């Protein structure tokens, strides 16, 4: 396993943050802060791509919840990308993260969800 990292880039008015490696107590807060700070004020939302994450602990999941709350306050959407066969898929399902944050298996589908008008 490898240390956690995040790489951010814009796709139109959506920030795509690709996390990789291990997301745990030692780095989750810093990685979450990097994503939050990378989102421009005029961004529609954030796609958090967890496809490259090898491990996530409860604190990493807590930080994702915090990011969702922060983006909600700014009226921005957060959508996760977690492949069906992803290493962390079971952990994400066990904590019910999909009940509060939309989860897609593909980046393009997640971008479409963020890009949809609010209902």
- pLDDT computed for residue 116 by the predictor: 80
pTM: 0.93
- pLDDT computed for residue 119 by the predictor: 46
- pLDDT computed for residue 118 by the predictor: 61
Q: Which fold has domain 5-104?
A: Transcription Regulator spoIIAA (3.30.750)
**For residue 85, what are the contacts with CB-CB under 8 A and spacing of at least 6?**
none
**For residue 109, what are the contacts with CB-CB under 8 A and spacing of at least 6?**
none
Spans of the chain, pLDDT less than 70: 1, 118-119
Q: Which helix (H) or strand (E) holds 50?
A: strand 45-56
Q: How far is residue 113's CA from residue 75's CA, in Å, rounded to a whole number?
A: 14
| Domain ranges across the chain | 5-104
Q: Report angle CA 17, 15, 59 to the nearest 5 degrees.
A: 40
């Amino acid at each position: 396993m490898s240390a956690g990292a995040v790489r951010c880039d814009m796709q139109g008015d959506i920030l795509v943050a690709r996390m990789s490696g291990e997301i745990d107590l030692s780095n989750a807060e810093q990685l979450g802060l990097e994503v939050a700070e990378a989102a421009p004020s005029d961004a529609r939302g954030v796609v958090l791509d967890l496809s490259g994450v090898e491990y996530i602990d409860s604190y990493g999941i807590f930080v994702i919840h915090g990011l969702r709350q922060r983006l909600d306050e700014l009226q921005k959407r957060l959508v996760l990308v977690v492949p069906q066969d992803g290493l962390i898929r079971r952990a994400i399902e066990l904590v019910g993260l999909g009940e509060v944050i939309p989860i897609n298996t593909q980046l393009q589908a997640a971008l479409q969800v963020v890009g949809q008008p609010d209902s």
